Amino acid sequence: MSAMVCSSFDAIRSLQDWLLTNGAQFAKMGSRQRESGEQDLVCRHETKTDERLLTLPRKLVMCSDLARESHIGVHIRKSGVRLQSEQTLLAAFMLSELENPFSFWGPFLQALPGTFDQVPIYFEDHFLEVLQGSRTLQAILDRKTLIREEYRKLCRAVPSFARHSLSRFQWAMTAVDTRCFHLPSRYDEHAVAIAPLMNMNHSGRAATAYWHYTEASDCIEIRADGTLSAGSQVVLANDAETQQEFFVRFGSLSPSKLDVEAKVEMHLDANDPARWEKAAFLRIRGGPKFTLSFTNYQGIDKVLTAIRSVTGNALATEARISHGNPRDLAGEATAFSLLSALCREALARFPRALTSSRKKEIEAAACNPADDRVRNLIRMRYLEQQVLHRVLAFATLMESRLASVSSPEAVRSAFTTESPVLQRWHFHWRDRFSTTAVGGSRR
C-alpha cells in the first residue's frame, strides 16, 4: 500500500466492494467525485421522506476508541502524554494503518483525497495576508499551531512516530477534521469517528438527509429528510456553529445562515491603581478578548458587562463593579462609548491595502474563476468587518439615545418606534438595568 493515498476511480471501486463485503447497504445512494478528490453523495433513485439510504455497520467506522486500542494507541497511552484532541489519536492511527499492506482499513484510506488544497491551513502565506487583522486569520494560525504542537508531543512520547513527517500528519489531521462526527464511546463521553460515505457537509447547503446510530443493531443509518429525486445530492449536516469555523475546516463559505463573529480586545490603563483587580474582573468575564456577533446578543452583553466591571473609580464600588449590571444612564452612555471605541480599534487592524510583494498574484487569483480561495478569503474579511460596523453603529446610536433622555422610562419610550433589532436589544438591556439606576427601579 502506498504511503500517501490518492483518490481514483479504482480506489472508489475497491471501496464499494469492501463496503458490500462487510455488510454495508447503500442501494439507493452512491458517490460522485469532485476534482479536489472529495466525494459528493448522490441519490440513485427517487427516495421518500425517512426512507433509508445507507446502513453502515459500526465495524466499518474508524473511531478514536479503536485508535486507543491499537498498537500506536497503546504506546501513546503508556507514555502519559496529554493530547489536546481526540482527532490526534485518530490521525496517528490512520498513518499507522497506511503503512500496513494488509490493513483492514486500506480500501477506505486509499479512497480519501490525496490533498486538501482548498483548506485554509494549506493556503500560501501571501494569500492569507488578505485576512490580516481578522479573527478568521487567527483561527487558521491556531489550527496550524495545534497540529504542530500535537505532532511534537507524539514524537516526544513515541520517538518512532517521527518516521511520519509533519506534512503527512497534517494531511491526516485534515482528513479527520473535514469528515469527523461523534459516536458513543467505551472510554469517554463520545468517540471521534470517520466513515465511508459519511462525508460531512462541505458545501454548507441545507441538509437533505440525517444520520443516526442505533445501539441495538450497532449500525449507522442515513435517511432522507424529505423527498429526494434521482441524481440529487445527499447532504448531511455538520456541527460547525459559525461561518469562521466552517471556513477554517472546509475552505468554503456556508450559504446557510451561520453566525459570523468578530473580536475586540480591552486594554486597561497602566496607571490605574486598581489595574490588577480590574484585570481579574476581566478574566472572570472571559476577557480581555471578547467575541462579538450581531445575531447573538450574548457577545455584546459580555463586553458591556466587562466594561461596567472595570469603569468604577475605586474598589469601594466593588459590589457594583463585579456585578456588571447597568448602574445609571450616564454610566451606560460611557459603556456604549467604550464599545464604539473597541469596534473602531478592531476595524483599524484591517489594513486598507495589501502590502505583499506578491500583490499582483493575489489580485490575479481573485479574478480566476477556477480558483475561489482568494474570493472566499475576501468574503470572510468583509463579513467580519460587517459585524464590527454593525455593532459600532448600534453602540453609537445607543450612546446618543442615552445622552438625550433623563430616565430609564424615557429610554423605553425612545425605542418604541425603532427597528425590531433595536427593540429586541432594548428589552434585553432594560431587564439588566439594576435597582440602583436613575429612577430607583428596573421598570
Q: Where are the alpha helices (DSSP H) in 31-121?
A: 64-69, 71-79, 86-98, 106-110
How far is residue 133's CA from residue 121's CA, in Å, rounded to a whole number? 17
Pairing verdict, β 181-183 and 191-194: antiparallel
Residue 125 lies in a domain: no
Residue 80 three-state SS: coil
Strands (DSSP E) along 23-138, which ranges? 29-33, 39-43, 52-57, 62-63
Whether residues 284 and 194 share a domain: the answer is: no
Whether residues 310 and 415 share a domain: the answer is: yes
pLDDT of amino acid 361: 66
Residue 381 lies in a domain: yes
Whether residues 274 and 403 share a domain: the answer is: yes
Whether residues 313 and 224 share a domain: the answer is: no
Residue 437 lies in a domain: no
| The C-alpha cell that represents 235 in the structure block | 447532504
pLDDT of amino acid 414: 60
Whether residues 342 and 228 share a domain: the answer is: no
pLDDT of amino acid 320: 45
Residue 181 lies in a domain: yes
How far is residue 253's CA from residue 379's CA, in Å, rounded to a whole number? 8
pTM of the model: 0.83
Whether residues 76 and 195 share a domain: the answer is: yes
Residue 221 lies in a domain: yes
Whether residues 36 and 67 share a domain: the answer is: yes
pLDDT of amino acid 369: 66
How far is residue 297's CA from residue 419's CA, in Å, rounded to a whole number? 15
Residue 153 lies in a domain: no
Q: In what order do the strands lie in the sheet with 191-194?
A: 62-63, 191-194, 181-183
Residue 72 lies in a domain: yes
pLDDT of amino acid 442: 32
Q: Which of 112, 115, 81, 84 is nearest to 98 (CA)?
A: 112
Whether residues 336 and 378 share a domain: the answer is: yes
Query: Residue 234 pairs with which residues in a beta bridge?
Result: 41
DSSP secondary structure of 217-235: TTEEEEEESS-B-TT-EE-
The total of structural domains in the chain comes to 2
Question: Residue 24 CA to chain centroid, in angstroms?
Answer: 31
Domain finish residue from 212, 241, 270:
241
The CATH number of residue 337's host domain is 3.90.1420.10
Domain finish residue from 185, 212, 241:
241
pLDDT of amino acid 200: 60
pLDDT of amino acid 34: 65
Whether residues 34 and 108 share a domain: the answer is: yes
Calculated CA dihedral for residues 40, 44, 49, 55, nearest 10 degrees: -70
Whether residues 341 and 424 share a domain: the answer is: yes
Cβ atoms of 101 and 110 within 8 Å: the answer is no
The CATH number of residue 59's host domain is 3.90.1410.10
pLDDT of amino acid 154: 97
From residue 127, alpha-carbon distances to 131, 133, 214, 356, 358 in Å are 8, 14, 44, 9, 9
Domain finish residue from 180, 210, 241:
241
Q: List the pLDDT tens digit at each of the 443 positions of the chain.
A: 333 344 466 888 898 899 999 999 988 877 776 665 566 778 888 889 999 888 999 999 999 999 999 999 999 999 999 999 889 999 999 999 999 999 999 999 999 989 999 999 999 988 898 899 899 999 999 999 999 999 999 999 999 999 999 999 999 999 999 999 999 988 878 999 999 988 765 655 778 888 999 888 899 999 988 898 888 888 888 777 888 999 999 988 887 767 888 999 988 888 877 778 778 878 877 888 888 887 767 788 888 888 887 776 544 445 445 456 777 778 888 889 999 999 999 999 988 766 666 666 666 666 766 678 888 899 999 999 999 998 998 889 888 878 877 766 666 666 555 556 556 666 666 666 544 444 433 33
Whether residues 174 and 312 share a domain: the answer is: no
Whether residues 202 and 285 share a domain: the answer is: no
Residues of the domain holding 168: 9-113+158-241
Residue 364 lies in a domain: yes
